[in-house]
Amino acid sequence: MSMDMATAALRLGLVELSWTFVFQLINTLILYLILRKFLFGPVTNFMQKRENEIKNQIQHAKQLDEEAQKLKADYEAKLLLAEEEGKDVVKKYTQRAENRAFEIVKTAEAEVDNMKLNAHRELERERVKAVNELKGQISELTILAASKVVEKDLNEADHKELINKFISEVGETQWQN
Amino acid sequence: MGTEGFGPRIAFHIGNIPVSETVTVTWLIIAVLFIFSIVATRNMKKEAKGLQLIVEQIVSVINGLTKQNMGERNYMFAPFVGTLLFFIGISNIIGLLGFRPPTADLNTTMCLSITTFVLTQFFGLKSKGIGNYTKGFLQPMPLLLPLNIIGELANPVSLGFRLFGNIVAGVIIMSLLYGALGGFTEMLFGLAIPLLQAGVPAVLHIYFDLFAGLLQSFIFTMLSMVFISGAME
């Protein structure tokens, strides 16, 4: 120990109470106050504040989530409704279009029938006209032939009537085709 | 007072009052903790990073320890518990830096244990009321009053001496070892340079300073918490 320079300094006893006790009491108090004011106070407060903030945020997020879920359900319901409506509309218009098409076809058919009928009538009329003309010509020819045979100039009007009667009696059916 | 022995050296005098190295090292510890507190709590951010993370961890561990040992309502003792833990812990391991641990001085350890004792009695009295507090000393029978009083007074003594004994033993053994190693080097190699002092004491430093030191600081703190909260129940 004699080599140790510091041993030359005065030492207090190893086990004795001294003024150091008072110093240490004050030091401990100072250290306590420092740690409380500058370390534990701020850090604990800060952590508490942050914890509260996080709790609030989580709660807020939960609330938002709930709202979002509700909105989502609402929109889904609305969407479903809209789809249904859309289907109805499509169905309605399809039906209407079908009806309309059916009507058009029906009118067209009726028109065609009408036209057919008209055509028939026209044909009939033409035919009758032609037959009548033929009848006229035949009677004229007959009169001509008969006058030559008889060599007697008959009254043309009397003969015409006579021949017409004859032709009628013979039957028109012979001339139909 | 003398120049021999293992007592704390006197750093200087204030008038007639000697200020020992125990006190100056304590000032150093206070200064370091003060600067640490200021730096670590400066512009704290929501997203803890680096030093702030460490400080938050330390504080929440001490808060948790206090709540766990003293109950949720005695949360306010956390700074006191932290003071004990920091002061004793750093004091005990400061020997590694070549300082004399303040806890190797009976004045420091008794100061701390008497503080705990005063708090124990004060909060016991406050929470129980004077009637129940006095009655506590007559339990389980009035005849045991002297024993109860001795038992109560023995707490701070054992608390203070346990810490002091553990740390001062380390200090004495380490300085004896350094002296011996210096002597051995001179004897073996004939050198005035104490080569063996490098490396060899490391293992003992780890045991006496780190292991025993941290363990004792923890024991002191735990017992203080148990005494105070025990007196309040």
For residue A62, the surrounding DSSP H or E stretch is: helix A41-150
- Say how many CA atoms lie within 13 Å of B229 toward its Cβ: 22
Confidence at residue A6, expressed as pLDDT on a 0 to 100 scale: 44
Alpha-carbon separation of residue A4 from A123, B135, B196 (angstroms): 154, 56, 16
In whole angstroms, give the CA distance from residue B88 to residue B80.
12
Residues A31 and A33: their CA atoms lie apart, in Å, by: 5
Point out the residue among B46, B78, B182 whose CB comes nearest to the CB of A3: B182
What is the SS3 string spanning A22-58? HHHHHHHHHHHHHHHHHHHHHHHHHHHHHHHHHHHHH
Q: Within the 53-92 window of chain A, which residues sit less than 8 Å (CB to CB) from chain B?
A: 53
Residues in A touching B63 (Cβ below 8 Å): 40, 44
**pLDDT over 90 percentage in chain B:** 50
Q: What is the pLDDT of residues A30-56, one digit of tens each?
A: 999 999 999 999 999 999 999 999 999
Burial of A15 (0-12, 13-18, 19+ CB in 10 A): middle
For A84-118, the pLDDT digits (tens) are 999 999 999 999 999 999 999 999 999 999 999 99
Q: The tokens of A45 are what?
A: 């407060």
Query: Residue B8 carries which DSSP code?
Result: P
Q: Kindly provide the ipTM of the predicted complex, given to two decimals.
A: 0.89
pLDDT at position A136 over 80 = yes
Q: Per the confidence metrics, is the pTM higher than 0.95?
A: no
Among candidates A34, A40, A50 on the partner chain, residue whose Cβ is nearest the Cβ of B46: A50
| Contact yes or no for A17 and B56 at CB 8 A | no
Q: Give how far A77 is from chain B: nearest CA, Å.
A: 42
Each domain of chain A, given as residue ranges in start order, spans 23-175
Query: In this complex, is the C-beta atom of A30 within 8 Å of any C-beta atom belonging to chain B?
Result: yes
For residue A32, give the nearest of B5, B10, B79 by CB distance: B79
Query: Which chain A residues are Cβ-neighbours of B20 within 8 angstroms?
Result: 12, 18, 20
pLDDT, residue A172, reads 57
- Average pLDDT of the residues in B137-157: 90
| pLDDT at residue A7 greater than cutoff 50 | no
